[in-house]
Homo-oligomer: A and B are copies of this chain.
């Protein structure tokens, strides 16, 4: 065999090897990951009622369940207002909030806002006095001390207002869903706190009170005491989930969302602008057919989004549109059919859902070509579409959803049946780092992390596909 021939054969062999390596790389890059990590198999149980996290603050009629709530667009376009909500259990007390940039001492807080209160009955339960007080004309990126409970037991907290909206303002969101109040819930919240986000985008299902006999509404109270340690210091953006419906005709309770609506003075569909993000919150359990109020609102809202000012368009919804878990499979279809084409056309960056008690992240996919008779009904990868994540893995009493469909469909990039939380760190108008953290690791360990590029500013970048 001549050297020339040998060289050619070596070259042929090299080409063949390179070809297979390339194929392997494509396959690895393309295939979705079903993580084989197994969480500990202990039962998911609620923390006992005497757990420290549920402790009623000491003092007669002490304010409890303190939480910050962002006002919706367009009422609070720039984010210079904040609703402070809390509950007093013994008597009405005061709905006043005192606040100050300068002094953490309630006696010396020079600003003052008057709130209102409400309460509700649910079967055999009567709520405490639920106070809602709106602070307005706040400065951006400013630390405020605030206090309530005047006349009896004063409690004080502090929070930092969000920065003025702008295209390159960095911000870190926590993404949490279906939290509940189990030991796992507590781990999730602690890990989120350790990771230090600036605000939480909460994708629904809060207390799971409705899993208790008579929808035991005291579980709404314990839950709000449990999350106070975060929610009193930074705003949580609320999404309504099915566990907020609290429909119980057998108890004479026919009004949907009664406890939730009294406790969380937020609409079911709305938006907030935060730093460089425009966050759209949708309502899976309200009407969204054409001509309905939500439909009319979303159409108008998407036209109001200014990607030059707030480049990151994030959508929150409880029931996911892309989930390959057998649990709640296809429940989001009816809303996807209605809204997906608008969300794709708007070039949304990220759609965050809860509902399914596991973690999943999609590729950039869309499924909007169907017209009944053309058979084009399969999700296709496209850089025009958002990434879909399901973070209904907060850790509630119903346990983990570990029955993923097999094989993993092509729209699914990563899925794992573990509890955890995610974060989205926006760096500037073009880049954001998304990370999911499972509870069995240290808080800062990233179990699934990807860089996202902005669909408005870098629409042709293939960031993760």
Contacts and interface: CB of A to CB of B under 8 A. Distances in A.
Interface of A: 242, 245, 247, 254, 256, 284-293, 296, 319, 328, 330-331, 333-335, 337-338, 367, 370-373, 375, 377-379, 409-410
Contact of A285 (B256, B291, B367): B291
State how many copies of this chain the complex holds: 2
A298 to B, nearest CB: 13
Contacts of A338: 333-334
Nearest to A329: B371
22 contacts: A242-B291, A247-B291, A256-B287, A256-B292, A284-B289, A285-B289, A285-B291, A285-B292, A286-B287, A287-B287, A287-B288, A290-B331, A333-B337, A337-B337, A372-B379, A373-B378, A373-B409, A373-B410, A375-B375, A375-B377, A375-B378, A377-B377
B375 A296 contact: no
A409 B372 contact: yes
A290 B409 contact: no
B372 A330 contact: yes
Nearest to A287: B287
Contacts of A335: 289, 334
Contact of A370 (B287, B296, B377): B377
Q: Nearest 4 A-B pairs (CB), nearest first?
A: A377-B377, A334-B338, A242-B291, A287-B287
Given A285-B291, A319-B290, A334 B337 contact: yes
Contacts of A377: 370, 372, 375, 377
Contacts of A291: 242, 245, 247, 285
Contacts of A337: 333-334, 337
Nearest to A243: B291
Q: Which of A247, A256, A292, A371 has the most CB of B within 10 A?
A: A292
